[in-house]
């Protein structure tokens, strides 16, 4: 009996030591970006924006190429960490790339681009996407950089990912703005470092410039963190509009909108993801939501997608300042074939 207890004690001690080493490593390597970071602008165009034109913009969370129609995800109530085979991710990405080519857009905001992640079999998706937009200026900002995510089992592993904004017109400046996190140690060492990316484009014939703001808000919290992030970004966009800028905010809000709540009712299914609701009065007078409910923009990942059964809703879209007119907004219904999100297209012009 003493021998058994000794062996058990040794095993427990080893596990404690390994856990300590793991926590220390994650703490020392934790990605802790500054509040504001100047981003590199990859310059591939000399096109100057003409304020008399109309412009097309798309936003799309591509789900790192690993969340197509056949997949589920453990944080949404599913069981998977990643697709079973690399070829599945490659197939999703091939189709995503084809869709991006078909966009033929002036601007694109893309979220969940993996650069080097085990969940996407270490495919550099930024290289693939930037090849599509090889005549565009673009900037990329990390919002996830963890040496090793040790949960669940099998573990997620290493993750390096972020969001990028592409412009057919010259980007004069790009910055990454951090959202505050309310996660305590040690959870904060393995969670996303949420942010929004601001890309500035000069408008020669106008007093102010265009600001494209690509945002990816938090998902798996009780709603308080998303509420704080909404306040931060609202203060920022109103401040920039007051300075004379033209503002287009877009991305994955991970929240639905009161105006589409009746179209896609909220499902309460135990502990599964439930988007909070942005009330109509959150939008300042004169500002316009660029959203559409012609099709859902996200689907729940508790199981493979089944049309008519899987929880869906609208959590992606745009918000524009009063000096911009929205001509058209449309969800491009791809049936969640290659991502757990559908793209949103908007056409706009300056007043």
Distance CA 194, CA 287 (A): 24
Q: Please compute the mean of the pLDDT values over residues 8-33 and round it to a whole number.
A: 62
Tell me: the pLDDT tens digits for 296-328? 999 999 999 999 889 899 999 999 999 999 999
Spatial distance between the Cα atoms of 252 and 167, rounded to a whole number of angstroms: 18
Q: Show the beta-strand stretches assigned E in the chain.
A: 36-38, 54-61, 107-114, 137-149, 157-167, 171-178, 195-201, 210-216, 246-252, 255-257, 276-278, 288-290, 298-299, 312-313, 316-320, 324-331, 344-350
39-52: b or e for each residue (b if 16 or more CB lie within 10 Å)?
bebbebbeeebeee
Q: What are the structure tokens assigned to 221, written together?
A: 């919290």
| Average pLDDT of the residues in 212-216 | 98
Between 230 and 13, whose confidence is greater? 230
Of the listed ranges 141-155, 184-198, 245-259, the one predicted with least confidence: 184-198
Q: For residue range 39-58, list pLDDT tens digits in order.
A: 999 999 988 888 889 999 99
The tokens describing 314, both together, are: 């609208």
Entry pTM? 0.93
Taking CA 69 as the corner, what is the angle to CA 68 and CA 70, rounded to the nearest 5 degrees?
95
């Amino acid at each position: 009996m003493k021998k058994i207890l000794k062996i058990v004690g040794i095993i427990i001690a080893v596990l404690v030591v390994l856990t300590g080493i793991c926590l220390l490593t994650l703490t020392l390597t934790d990605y802790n970006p500054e509040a504001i970071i100047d981003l590199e602008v990859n310059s591939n165009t000399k096109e100057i924006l003409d304020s008399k034109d109309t412009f097309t913009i798309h936003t799309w969370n591509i789900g790192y190429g690993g969340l197509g129609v056949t997949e589920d995800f453990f944080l949404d109530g599913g069981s998977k960490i990643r697709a079973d085979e690399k070829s599945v991710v490659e197939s999703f990405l091939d189709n995503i790339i084809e869709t991006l080519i078909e966009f033929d857009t002036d601007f694109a905001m893309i979220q969940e681009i993996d650069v080097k992640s085990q969940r996407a079999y270490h495919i550099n998706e930024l290289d693939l996407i930037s090849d599509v937009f090889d005549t565009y200026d673009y900037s990329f900002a990390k919002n996830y950089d963890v040496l090793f995510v040790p949960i669940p089992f099998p573990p997620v592993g290493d993750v390096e990912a972020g969001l990028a904004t592409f412009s057919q017109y010259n980007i004069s400046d790009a910055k990454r703005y951090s959202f505050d996190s309310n996660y305590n140690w040690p959870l904060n060492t393995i969670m996303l470092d949420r942010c929004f990316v601001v890309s500035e484009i000069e408008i020669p014939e106008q007093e102010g410039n265009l600001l494209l703001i690509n945002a990816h808000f938090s998902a798996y919290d009780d709603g308080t963190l998303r509420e704080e992030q909404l306040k931060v970004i609202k203060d920022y966009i109103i401040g920039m509009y007051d300075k004379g800028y033209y503002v287009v905010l877009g991305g994955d809000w991970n929240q639905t909108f009161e105006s589409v709540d009746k179209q896609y009712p909220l499902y309460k299914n135990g502990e599964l993801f439930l988007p909070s609701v942005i009330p109509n009065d959150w939008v300042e007078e004169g500002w316009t939501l660029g959203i559409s409910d012609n099709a859902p923009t996200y689907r729940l990942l508790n199981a493979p997608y089944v049309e008519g059964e899987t929880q869906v809703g609208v959590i992606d879209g745009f918000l524009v300042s009063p000096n911009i007119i929205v001509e058209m907004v449309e969800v491009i219904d791809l049936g969640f074939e290659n991502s757990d999100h559908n793209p949103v297209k908007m056409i706009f012009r300056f007043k």
